[in-house]
Amino acid sequence: MMNLFKEEWFIRLFGSVLTILISLIIYKTISFIIFKGTAGKRVSKSKKINTYTRLVRNILRYVIILIDVLIILQIHGINVTSMVAGVGVISIILGFAIQDALKDIIKGFDIISDSYYQVGDVIKYEDIIGKVLSIGLKTTKLEDVNTFNIVSISNRKIEQVEVVSNLINIDVPLSYDLEVKSAINVIDKIVNEIKKHNDVDNCEYRGINDLADSSIKYQIKVYCNPVKKVQVRRDALGIIMTILEKEGIKVPYNQIDVHQR
C-alpha cells in the first residue's frame, strides 16, 4: 500500500480526488452560510432573497468547477500559465461563437438587478404561463401552470416575457331588460360567493364596463395567486352561471331580428 504513494499516477489521482472533495466541502459550507444568513428575513423580501441566493450559488458552482479544472490540469503536468496566457487570442475566436451565451449571462444579471421577475413569480412567454423555479446564468426555468412541464427560457428573451398579475377581470353580461339596481344585487351575491373560494384573496364589483349590443356588462375583479388563475377563473364562471340560474336570469346573446313589410 505504501508503494502506491510513490507511484506518480497514484499521486496525481489522489491529488485530483482530494481537490474535488475539498471543493465540495467549500461549496457546501458557503452555501450553508448563505442559506443560514438569509433565513428569517421578512416575507416581503423572501422572493428577492431566494432569487439572489440561487444566482450566487450558481455562480459559485461555476467558479469552483473552473478552479478545480485548472488545479487538476496543473497536477497532471499541464502548464496552466501558458493556457491562461493564450486565452486572450482564443477568447476573440470564441467570442463570435458564444455571443448568445454572453447575452444570456448579461440579461441574467439585468433580470436580478432590475427585479424584472423573481423566483416564485408567474410569467408568460409566448403561449406558456409558468412559475419561475430558478434564474440561472443562461436560462430561467419555469413550471407550466397548465401542464406542470419544466420549461427553460433563454435569459436574452426577457423582452418577450410578461409578469402575470394576481388580477382576473370578468365581465358579467346581463340583459337590458333587467333593472340596474336588480342587476347590482345579483352581482353582489356573485361577489360574496366568489370570495368564499379557498384560492381567492378578494373579489369586488367595479361597475358597468360596457354597453354591448345585446347586454350590459358588469365588471368584477378577482384577486388570487397567479399560479391558480386559470382554475380560479373557471370556478368563478361556474359560480356566476349557478347564481344566474337560481335567480332565473338568462345570459343574453346576439340575436338577429328580421322585419317583413
* pLDDT tens-digit map of 97-132: 566 777 777 777 777 777 788 888 899 988 888 899
pTM: 0.57
Task: Count Cβ atoms within 10 A of the Cβ of residue 63 and give its class: 0-12 exposed, 13-18 middle, 19 or more buried.
Answer: exposed
Q: What's the rounded Cα separation, in Å, for the pair 17 and 27?
A: 15
Q: Which amino acid is at 121?
A: D
Outline where DSSP puts E strands in the chain: 122-125, 128-135, 139-144, 150-154, 161-163, 167-174, 200-211, 216-224
Domain boundaries, the chain: 7-85, 107-163, 167-246
Query: Mean pLDDT over residues 232-261, rounded?
Result: 80
Query: Mean pLDDT over residues 226-234, rounded?
Result: 90
- Specify the fold of 107-163: SH3 type barrels. (2.30.30)
* pLDDT tens-digit map of 31-71: 777 666 555 554 445 666 666 676 677 777 878 887 888 78
C-alpha grid cell, residue 40: 428569517
- Taking Cα atoms as reference points, which of 161, 154, 156 lies closest to residue 126? 161
Of 3.30.930.10, 3.40.50.150, 3.30.70.100, 3.30.450.70, the CATH number of 167-246 is: 3.30.70.100
pLDDT of residue 126: 86
Are the beta carbons of 156 and 136 closer than 8 angstroms? no
